[in-house]
Amino acid sequence: MTTLAQRLASYSTSLRYEDLPAIVVHEVKRRFIDSIATAVGALDSDAATIARRCAAKFQGQPAISMLGGGTSTLEWATFVNGLLIRYLDYNDTYLSLEPAHPSDNLAAVLSVGELVGAPGTALITASALAYEIQCRLCDAASLRKHGVDHVTYGALSSCAAACKLLGHDVTQTTHALGIAGVCNVALRQTRSGELSMWKGCAFANAARNGVFAALLAGEGLTGPAPIFEGDLGFFKLVSRMEFDLPVLGGKNTPFMINQTYIKFWPAEYHSQSAIDAALKLRTKIGNVLQDVKSIDIHTFEASYNIIGKYPEAWAPRTRETADHSLPYCAAVALLDGDVTLKQFDPQRFTSPDIVNLTSRVKVHLDDSLSTRYPHGIPNRITVTLNDGQQLVEEVEFPRGHAKNPMTDEEVEAKLRRMVEPKLGKSKADKILATCWQLEKLSSPAELVQLVA
């Protein structure tokens, strides 16, 4: 019987650039633009500084380029680039039984692509493949309900992308998936309570390990099998249910990348509709925010359990906790009239005015909203004023959602906001031109080295 790992390996090795519709190729280009934007925004973060300091201690043959400048080993470059793409919680999202940030896979695509000198068409194909596998796995089974983090799926999808770029055959890819799957089960504690720097590093580590597994399998190292169906395998111990992936993107089947979402605001995705609703309410309230008596947020199960139930969300002490706080994100949008990177500076989320307003927020789990997820992410906010007047706003498809997508111009503007203050307009122009012509790229190093 053909195992699931063998099926994924067969799909990975057979997928060709020519199989990708123009809309998929275009969307991959948009995700590279978006990911570089988020990476540049994170260049000055403490976590990135620490990771780059570690990476600088090691050099590989060949040396692999890091976003922001410098080189390191293949694995360290994957980790640093993945951390940068993910750290601000501003990169793209997919919501299903398991939420995910599939552009995290691009770190593996860039580093392995540079290792083998892959052309732009190969980068596009490997990226679409990684999105396809990760999103289909997210559709198949929830991991978070068992205390397992979504990056567990990412080790598999990053590994598949790496194998594709390395030119592995079905047998090698199957062994690589076995290695990546058996030793990269991550705990959900990463996203529980007061969040740490590791929140933005978790997928970077999974991608690094996925690449490592692909390298070993390419040299002939065998992996445990069957990784999914085995008596002590993934189905038994991790997903705790059996599943299949009967459909994967192809000539007659849409690809998953077009069902994922680019973020409009730099905060955890389930808060995006609450931010949108709060900004709309602000136009109704005007300049009388001092008259706000209470703020009630009715939200759905995933939002409540990920960003709406922990006491730390009402008094965040770290950036990571603030961007994963439903009450804070809604309150600061209402108070400041925007949510940018500045709203996640410690000076802002600890200031007395926002602490005071956040203390007036209550979050309610609403089962009627849960039934509309993950098709939508409905958040309803009710603001009660001191005179008893109530103002209500509900948003289900915030800007950037697949049903309310950002335009190409908005994606470009996001990159310019992140890149121009640090690297200048000329560099932003070159990055955009390179991404829009990604299929003509001769090596990923040309793109990565623009971000220096």
CA distances to 172, 257, 299 from 264, in Å: 39, 17, 19
pLDDT at 252: 85
pLDDT at 282: 95
pLDDT at 283: 92
CA–CA–CA angle 256, 80, 428 (5° rounding): 75
In this model, does residue 374 exceed pLDDT 80?
Answer: yes
In single-letter form, the type of residue at position 247 comes to V
pLDDT at 247: 87
Give the predicted TM-score (pTM) of the model. Answer: 0.96
pLDDT at 392: 98
What is the CATH code for 4-264+429-448?
1.10.4100.10
In this model, does residue 335 exceed pLDDT 90?
Answer: yes
In single-letter form, the type of residue at position 219 comes to E
Q: How far apart are CA 35 and CA 405, in angstroms?
A: 16
pLDDT at 361: 98
pLDDT at 1: 81
Q: How far apart are CA 84 and CA 67, in angstroms?
A: 8
What are the extents of the domains in the chain? 4-264+429-448, 269-395
Average pLDDT on 24-52 reads 98
Tens-place pLDDT, residues 89-117: 999 999 999 999 999 999 999 999 999 99
pLDDT band of 288, cuts 50, 70, 90: confident
In this model, does residue 411 exceed pLDDT 90?
Answer: yes
pLDDT band of 8, cuts 50, 70, 90: very high
Average pLDDT on 163-168 reads 98
Task: Output DSSP code: residue 406.
Answer: P
The closest alpha carbon to 437, from 124, 161, 165, 127, belongs to: 124
Count of CB atoms situated within 10 Å of the CB of 227: 23
Tokens for 283, please give them: 């136009």
pLDDT at 256: 97
3-state secondary structure of 359: coil
Task: Output DSSP code: residue 226.
Answer: S
- The rounded mean pLDDT for the chain is 97
pLDDT band of 412, cuts 50, 70, 90: very high
Q: Which CATH architecture has domain 269-395?
A: 2-Layer Sandwich (3.30)
DSSP 44-97: TSHHHHHHHHHHTT---SS-EE-TTS-EE-HHHHHHHHHHHHHTTS-S-BB-SS
* % of residues, the chain, pLDDT over 70: 100
pLDDT band of 213, cuts 50, 70, 90: very high
pLDDT at 251: 80
Tens-place pLDDT, residues 293-323: 999 999 999 999 999 999 999 999 999 999 9
In this model, does residue 287 exceed pLDDT 80?
Answer: no
pLDDT band of 62, cuts 50, 70, 90: very high
